[in-house]
Amino acid sequence: MKYSDAIEYLYRLRWFGIKLGLENTIRLASCVGNPHKKLKFIHVAGTNGKGSTCAFLESIYRNAGLKVGLYTSPHLISFCERIQINRELIAEDDVIAYVQRLKEIMESDSWRGDQMQFPTFFEVVTVLALMYFCDRGCDLVIWETGLGGRLDATNIVLPLASVITNIQMDHCQWLGDSFARIAYEKAGIIKSNVPVITGTDVPEALEVIKSRAQQLNSPLIIVTREMIDSLLPKDLSLPLIGQHQRMNAALALATVHCLNSLINVKDSAVRDGLSNVAWPGRFQIISRGGNTYIVDGAHNPAAAKTLAATVRDYFGNKELDLFFGILRDKDWQQVISILAPLASRIFLVPVHSDRTADPGVILPVANVANPQAIVQVCNSLSDALRMAGKNRNILIAGSLFLAGEALELLDSEDMLGNKNERWLNELAENKYYEKQK
């Protein structure tokens, strides 16, 4: 098997869509020796900010001298971004070896004889990550949920702490159409007597988290915006820009403090970890050819509001162009309505996905949201980049798919991967979405 064969095998798992439930993951993990039972985890869920919070946690513990596994999704360019140890991507040879092993198990007579459902892409990759982290002897794994929490494949672990960044409206077709229902799914990662740390400030959602924590006798730490300055080291400049990133950093630091009796971290490691964190595609600033590009994966209304506030703080009244592309199953009307007023020129582009929203359909909504702006439909992001001109400030937003494409086209030096495997992100969600239509 070549690396391309392994990726193609994972790609074919798209036909099995999304199955919210733990049975397959538990069974598959048991077939490889239950590696999750030999590891220590911090489990992170939430609507927005969970990837950045994971990045802060990883950086702090790595600077404290630990060997830290990091499991996140989606990837921006290379599949290998999803599975890292001390911010080094899993090697292609390792991907091949683990895919081969899991393929043999899933295609064996014993698996089929037990009439087990064939595992999905995310279930297989989750177990692959567990095997890799266990075999490499990680001291700690920062473990991000894929979708929701309660029935997410990542929820087979017993963590040292559970983190729920916040609760907003997103993925409603899977998680529910109210703050309470979404919070119920996210709170499913809370385990008995395991501390939970949250920055949730929506009262309806917070009540659900409080109730779940009380039922399980889990100590609950609520990080409020008023606590941020007291938690973060004085005079600290974060590389990740925006007030929301200060909240994410505060959540990470509250988690570190909570676990300090189990994993002692010196103040110097905290400062170094927070000061040197990197997380591409989140208000990432790139200078190319006289232009300043801001690449951000904001794709729901709450994230768009945060992005708009960060843009205003950072650029003030400077003229801005918006390159916008989004998936049609997102609340794109709200997102473009929030972001369009920022720009004097708006270029609407398709996302490289079967789920892309039609830029022509977005056009009239963008015109209403900002009647003063020049709004134009482009065939691709690359076309929009060619049309941009010089000495422009350009915001590229609407989807992590689009962020990954932008980083690839701009040849960002901050990207860890160099393979165009953005299409792998499409696997499970697209198939499930089409079934629900």
- Domain of 147: which CATH number? 3.40.1190.10
Complete DSSP assignment for 218-234: --EEE--GGGHHHHSPT
Residue 211 lies in a domain: yes
Instruction: Give which of 149, 165, 103, 124 is closest to 29, Cα–Cα.
Output: 124
Is residue 234 pLDDT above 50, yes or no? yes
- Domain of 368: which CATH number? 3.90.190.20
Write out the residue range of the structural domain in which residue 388 sits.
Answer: 284-414
Domain identity same for 44 and 20: yes
Residue 425 lies in a domain: no
* Band (437; pLDDT cuts 50, 70, 90): very low
Per the CB < 8 A criterion, the answer to whether 392 and 362 are in contact is: no
Domain identity same for 381 and 256: no
Instruction: Give which of 113, 105, 97 is closest to 28, Cα–Cα.
Output: 105
* Band (103; pLDDT cuts 50, 70, 90): very high
Domain identity same for 288 and 271: no
Domain identity same for 60 and 183: yes
Report pLDDT for 424: 56
Tokens of 270: 């905290």
Q: Residues 183-224: pLDDT tens digits? A: 999 999 999 999 999 999 999 999 999 999 999 999 999 999
Is residue 232 pLDDT above 50, yes or no? yes
Residue 296 lies in a domain: yes
What's the mean pLDDT in 243-250? 96
Domain identity same for 363 and 261: no
Domain identity same for 13 and 104: yes
Residue 395 lies in a domain: yes
Residue 91 lies in a domain: yes
Residue 428 lies in a domain: no
State the residue for tokens 């997410």. 152
Number of domains in the chain: 2
Complete DSSP assignment for 314-350: HHTT---EEEE--BTTS-HHHHHHHHGGG-SEEEE--
* Band (412; pLDDT cuts 50, 70, 90): low
Residue 72 lies in a domain: yes
Q: Residues 67-100: pLDDT tens digits? A: 999 999 989 999 999 999 999 999 999 999 999 9
Q: Residues 263-303: pLDDT tens digits? A: 999 999 999 999 999 999 999 999 998 999 999 999 999 99
Report pLDDT for 436: 32
Per the CB < 8 A criterion, the answer to whether 40 and 141 are in contact is: yes
What's the mean pLDDT in 299-317? 94
Distance (Å, whole) CA 354 – CA 33: 37
Tokens of 300: 């729901």
Q: Residues 333-374: pLDDT tens digits? A: 999 999 999 999 999 999 988 889 999 999 999 999 999 999
Domain identity same for 332 and 225: no
Domain identity same for 56 and 194: yes
Neighbours of 8 (CB within 10 A): 12
Domain identity same for 243 and 289: no
Domain identity same for 234 and 301: no
Average pLDDT, the chain: 91
Domain identity same for 246 and 114: yes
Per the CB < 8 A criterion, the answer to whether 244 and 49 are in contact is: yes
Domain identity same for 252 and 303: no
Which residues, 6+ apart, have CB-to-CB distance to 263 below 8 Å? 61, 64, 66, 140, 160, 256
Residue 422 lies in a domain: no
Per the CB < 8 A criterion, the answer to whether 129 and 31 are in contact is: no
